[in-house]
Chain A
Amino acid sequence: MKEVNLFNLALQNLRRKPYRSVAIGLCVAVMTGSLFVATIIMRGVQTSLSVGQARLGADLVVVPLGYESLAQEAFITGQPSAFYMSDQIEAQIAALPSVEKTSAQVFVQTLTNAKCCIGEFFLVGFDPESDFTISPWLSTHLKNKVLGSFDVIAGDRILLRAGDGATFYGTSFRVASVLEKTGMGIDRTIYVPMEGLRQMIADSNTLAEEPLTIAPEQISSVMVSVEPGADMIDVAESIEGSLADVNVFTASQLNQAVARQLQGVMGITFGVTATLWLMSLLLVGLIFSLIVNERQRELGLLRAMGAPRKAVFRLVMMEAGFLTGIGGVSGLVLSGVLLMGFSRLIQLRLRIPYLLPGLLEIIGVEVGLLVLALLTGALASLQPALSISRLEPYAAIRQGE
């Protein structure tokens, strides 16, 4: 036989109006589930951005004047872009104070005759001698093998594996390694050593259907690393002040650009979930006012039986806690299952490489949201619980008749 106590009484009370209880639980489940999904996705976006920023490897990126947005788009999405400036600029930047390292890159226009891959991707020439963006990564992954002039590095979303051959503009290359996914344009980029790229450009006149017209002294961007302790913004301003025809953006600006892209979607998501939370709060509050009103006489009778005010208060709060707790757990479990089941699809649609954080972080988020669900119940039922517990038993019995 079950023990008769406040806990069981509160649980039993939920059975009285099962549809109403289910409706409240469902409302809280949708709220916590949505918040869980939104939080995990936001976390995934942040992680992806951090990884992408770290992988960019440069503090500043210098591009020709007027091409800042296009360059950012290229770095973010891998959308092939082509813009050029004189390679003298690199030397001028390197001579400026607080500039530690520089490395030039050359961007090649959309591939139209590659025999390897489907879709557009970005071909970037880099100088293995001066590069500090992907070379540190290469040194650990290539296990001290020397990168040849016609050895390329492919981004994660290029359908190539290490050892595969690929022909660009009539020139044959070999894939030396594949980069880890970053969620940035790097994933859709093929890095070609500058010597091989210059050769490819020269040979395209005879080998490619559409020859490339990039002069040997032209570069697309200069990656800049500032000295430790130097202010990146100051250095960027110094570069823009010294060189008339360039734009400079920082890695964090690149992040902001990515964030802006996702801001709209996430803003709507959080707006919807915040609205859901507010609606849950109002709905649970309204329903508990109704519940307390309906059971006013009964709660008054409990007082007559000897229930102190705090017992009646606890009973109402417990009922709210059970409903929102059960709803919250259901929402978290269901959204967790859905999120895991559709994680690949979400990653593809949102173009983020990282979605699910570690188990501990997931548990942390779930516990936090469960507490939020319980707080919602507590907040919503506080006024009805206080009002009934403060009412004289006689008034409760008479008004409830």
Chain B
Amino acid sequence: MNMTQVDNTVRDGHRLGGSALVELWGVSKHYQQGLDSVKAVDDVSLKVQAGDFVSITGRSGSGKTTLLSLIGGLTAPTSGGVRLFDQTLKNLGDSELSALRAERMGFVFQFASLIPTLSTLDNVRLPGIFAPKPVDTAYARKLLDWVGLSDKLNSYPAELSGGQQARVSLARALANQPDLLLADEPTGNLDVETEWEILSLLRDLNQEQNITIMLVTHNPELAKYGDRHFVMHGGGLTESYQWLGEKVPIDG
């Protein structure tokens, strides 16, 4: 399925022109581990424009996931600030922040964490519970078709392979037609072939739907398919390169 068939009206209404979609300034996240204070994210500043495909790599424990969670408002920074869609997160209450996540963001995690008692289709429709309007069943079907699971609509998570679950998780993240997709190691536990398939889907989303993607991965090979590549080390973030030419084709 070509994702251009998906209704973009709502999302296009949220486009932010020239201002940054995501902006971090001096963001740090420290937490206590026993007697030690760990700097998971240390003084990170970053601007991401609408339509960017950002990849962040780094070793385990370098702070990638924490950074993504800070951007998504899943945790609050110890210091510094995060601005998303022209809104400073620390000024938002729980309801407003939740609404922002429900309406404008999608998350994909390493472990799909689908609800085991819901069918594939219902798992995709799930985010609609928290959005202003439910996820249209036809749209959920389209998403599952797009990730190649049109024959698994009524299957339950236990009946799916890890790769299939990851695809359902991706479809679920797109159910509310987000502007920003935050993907944390979405292919972390998958085989190479499935890994490329997922990456291909992400690339399509970015190129065809102009969805801003921030991908965290431990695999530097995957990272090069983003427009911008950052490396995290010891909580700090460094921009490795910004791709200005034609994007690298995904050939698996």
Contact = CB atoms under 8 A, between A and B. Distances in A.
A99 B172 CA distance: 87
Given A4-B125, A393-B74, A306 B99 contact: yes
Contacts of B210: none
Nearest to B169: A301
B129 A309 contact: no
Interface string A9-28: 10011011000000000000
B135 to A, nearest CB: 8
A1 B137 contact: yes
Contacts of B113: 297-298, 301
For the complex, would chain A's binding face be called helix, strand, loop or mixed by DSSP majority?
helix
Contacts of A4: 118, 122, 125-126, 128-129, 134-135
A304 B74 contact: yes
Given A3-B134, A300-B74, A303-B101, 8 more contacts: A4-B128, A9-B118, A297-B111, A303-B74, A303-B98, A304-B74, A309-B94, A309-B98
Contacts of A231: none
A342 interface: no
Q: Which of B74, B76, B125, B128 has the most CB of A within 10 A?
A: B74
Nearest to B112: A301
Contact of A16 (B75, B107, B109, B117): B117
Given A1-B137, A392-B76, A306 B111 contact: no
A5 B125 CA distance: 9
Given A304-B72, A308-B95, A5 B129 contact: yes
A397 interface: yes
A309 B101 CA distance: 13
B94 A308 contact: yes
A305 interface: yes
Interface of B: 65-66, 69, 72, 74-76, 94-95, 98-103, 105, 107, 109, 111, 113, 115-118, 121-122, 125-131, 134-135, 137, 172, 176
A398 B127 CA distance: 20
A306 B117 CA distance: 20
Given A394-B75, A397-B109, A307 B117 contact: no
A306 B75 contact: no
Given A4-B128, A16-B117, A395-B75, A305 B102 contact: yes
B109 A301 contact: yes
Contacts of B172: 305
A311 B111 contact: no
Contacts of B101: 303-306
B75 A393 contact: yes
A16 B176 CA distance: 27
9 smallest CB-CB distances across A and B, nearest first, come from A306-B102, A394-B75, A306-B130, A308-B98, A12-B117, A394-B74, A394-B69, A393-B74, A306-B101
Interface in A114-143: none
A311 B127 CA distance: 12
Contacts of B129: 4-6, 9, 307, 311
Contacts of A310: 95
Contact of B107 (A2, A304, A308, A401): A304
Contacts of B105: 306
Contacts of A397: 69, 74, 109
Contacts of B95: 308, 310
Contact of B117 (A6, A13, A309, A392): A13
A243 to B, nearest CB: 80
B98 A307 contact: yes
Interface of A: 1-6, 9, 12-13, 15-16, 297-298, 300-311, 392-395, 397-398, 401
Nearest to A401: B111
A400 to B, nearest CB: 9
Contacts of B116: 16
A298 B107 CA distance: 13
A311 B128 contact: no
Contacts of A303: 74, 98, 101
12 contacts: A3-B134, A4-B128, A4-B134, A9-B126, A306-B102, A307-B98, A307-B102, A309-B94, A311-B129, A392-B75, A392-B76, A398-B65
Nearest to A14: B117
A401 B111 CA distance: 9
Given A4-B118, A12-B117, A16-B116, A305 B127 contact: yes
Nearest to B182: A304
B78 to A, nearest CB: 12
A1 to B, nearest CB: 7
A306 B176 contact: yes
Contacts of B130: 302, 305-308, 311
Nearest to A12: B117
A305 B107 contact: yes
A303 B113 CA distance: 13
Nearest to B110: A401
B162 to A, nearest CB: 16
A89 B66 CA distance: 96
A301 B117 contact: no
B186 to A, nearest CB: 13
Contacts of B128: 4
B71 to A, nearest CB: 11
Contacts of B72: 304
A221 B101 CA distance: 85
Given A1-B137, A392-B75, A306 B103 contact: yes
Nearest to B99: A306
